[in-house]
A and B are shown apart, each in its own frame.
Chain A
Amino acid sequence: MKETAQRRELVAWVAREIMPHEPSVRAWLAQRVTSPADTDELIQEAYCKISELQSIDHIDRPDGYFFQVVRNLLRSQMRRARVVRFELIAEIEERAGSDPAPSPERQANDSREMQRIYRLIEQLPERCRQIFTLRKLEGLPQREIAMRMNVTETIVENEGARGLRLILEGLREQGEALAADYESRRGRNRKSGSPL
């Protein structure tokens, strides 16, 4: 693993600039692959690629970059095996998530995506939230959190892990909800005969 400071910087960047877009990327993927498992796999592979970044300075548009990584992975997966519906190959070639320069609308969208993540954290079970709050606001190590909450250190560790799992699960569900939303809109458009 990289030098700690560099890794921290990368993780903070991913938390701030990449992860909020995960539901949108998932929804985009869900329309192009055959199963939710394929989406999961490609998302994990994409994060792996991102974890290998030596520098993030050259990335002006993290959301566009995230889409690009996923699209490239999808394309090379297609070359290896026909896991994607054939008619979608051309569609994948179109540039996804690539609007022009940041606009007020785009910034509003970014902050909405950030809000979505924070809402997930707010909705965590009470004990998970308490652990994260003590860790964050008071900077307590797990050992002291355990003392403060009068539970074992193992419980703090396990409950923390459960909280993190629920956040990742929540992002997956948000992606699925968005995909369903796209799908229903697409259906309506088809019925009314308007272009996509």
Chain B
Amino acid sequence: MNDPGSNKSRAANEIEAVATSWVMRRDHGVNSEGEQAFAQWLAADTRHRGAYLQAEAAFMLAAGGDLAPSSATDAPPIADDDKNDEKIVPRLSRRSMLAEAAGAAAILALVMAFWPSGDRYETALGEIRRVPLADGSVAAINTESAITVDLREESRSVNLKKGEAFFQVAHDPVRPFTVAAGEVRVRAVGTAFGVRRYAEGSEIVVSEGAVEAWSKNAAGNRIRLKAGERTFVSVLPTKADTKPALAETAAAVPAIDRALAWREGKIELAGESLAYAVAQFNRYNDRKIVLGNKAVGQERFYGIFRTDDPEGFAQAVQSSLGVGVTYPTAKAIRIGE
């Protein structure tokens, strides 16, 4: 066993305890808030990232199924019962990923490389891009995100490959506008809505009109969202016989506007926790904010900030909450001791 007198040794055990419980929690399924807390924990320390990989590997050994690189996989779901999804790039199902074959992966990579996927738009860290589409719709693409757009006579398909995007959809009743984010689908006729993709589902925020959302694995279980509503469509569990979690939450219109403030390059806070605010800033900037302790993260905060101004935010926190702010390196801002 370890030297019980050593702080460092205890720290390793403690990190492992947190890492292993995150693996189980995320396997169980967490909401977007949980996912944010996880991302923040992961970003806080290189040792967290190391321990998390160890815990994931241990989980795969104990409960993950076949590890062999040459095992058979489930066929990738290239064909879809949904006509509008025909052009969406094939994506491995969760189960087939577990048994992913190196050979199959190589073939799949080839298929993906030549699959007609339409125009691709990508943003770098901190970049927010507005793209007018040929049908008159406008896409706003948030930091570190990617979309492909495929406009056809009978359908308009967007694939949110990663990150977050907002769509102001030009009205066209004969050409439905469908956004695919992993297994999640959102369909609109003429409306405005945002989609943010996470590993285990997608968050949808509607600011105008109405949309329909569902998970590809349970297309019968659809949810309708009106302006001012938001939801998280989970893709876990992915077994065909279990319905995906569909949680509908009506939010006040100002909250929706705040959630979409990124389109103007702003982060608006109205009593959200400091931990949440920090996770937001860290999405846009190379210079990461680190919270010195948990208690500070619970503080509520108000204000409007530029996404690219974490320093301004830190100063506001310092002056209004009276917590210390230090700048240990050019890549870090530390709030609280």
**A residues adjacent to B (C-beta < 8 A):** 1, 3-5, 8-16, 18-19, 35-38, 40-41, 43-52, 117-118, 121, 124, 131-133, 135-136, 139, 141-143, 153, 156-158, 160-165, 167-169, 172-173, 176
Judging by beta carbons under 8 Å apart, are B16 and A37 in contact?
no
Per DSSP, chain A at the interface is helix
A-B contact pairs, 20 of them (CB 8 A): A5-B92, A8-B100, A13-B69, A14-B56, A35-B3, A35-B6, A36-B2, A37-B6, A37-B8, A37-B9, A46-B50, A47-B54, A51-B49, A118-B61, A135-B63, A160-B20, A160-B23, A160-B59, A161-B17, A161-B24
- CA–CA, A16 to B58, complex, Å? 10
Provide the residues of chain A in CB contact with B7, threshold 8 Å.
Answer: 37
Q: Name, among A36, A44, A160, A165, the residue most crowded by chain B CB atoms within 10 Å (CB to CB).
A: A44
Known contacts A8-B100, A139-B65, A162-B20; 17 further A-B pairs (Cβ under 8 A): A4-B94, A5-B91, A5-B97, A11-B56, A13-B69, A14-B57, A15-B61, A19-B54, A36-B3, A37-B3, A37-B8, A44-B46, A45-B50, A48-B53, A139-B239, A157-B21, A169-B16
- CA–CA, A16 to B3, complex, Å? 29
Provide the residues of chain A in CB contact with B199, threshold 8 Å.
Answer: 1, 4
In the complex formed, the residue of B with least CB distance to A3 is B162
Distance between A114 CB and nearest chain B CB, rounded to angstroms: 9
Provide the residues of chain B in CB contact with A135, threshold 8 Å.
Answer: 27, 63
Judging by beta carbons under 8 Å apart, are B2 and A141 in contact?
no
Provide the residues of chain A in CB contact with B39, threshold 8 Å.
Answer: 1
Interface digits, B15-35 against A, CB 8 Å rule (1 contact, 0 not)?
111001101110111000000
Q: Which residues of B236-266 are within 8 A (CB) of A?
A: 236-237, 239, 242
Distance between A57 CB and nearest chain B CB, rounded to angstroms: 9
In the complex formed, the residue of A with least CB distance to B21 is A161
Asked if B295 lies at the interface with its beta carbon under 8 angstroms from chain A, I say no
Judging by beta carbons under 8 Å apart, are A12 and B67 in contact?
yes
Judging by beta carbons under 8 Å apart, are B67 and A15 in contact?
yes
Provide the residues of chain A in CB contact with B12, threshold 8 Å.
Answer: 37, 40-41, 44
Provide the residues of chain B in CB contact with A47, threshold 8 Å.
Answer: 49-51, 53-54
Provide the residues of chain A in CB contact with B2, threshold 8 Å.
Answer: 36-37, 40, 172
Distance between A5 CB and nearest chain B CB, rounded to angstroms: 5
Judging by beta carbons under 8 Å apart, are B9 and A16 in contact?
no
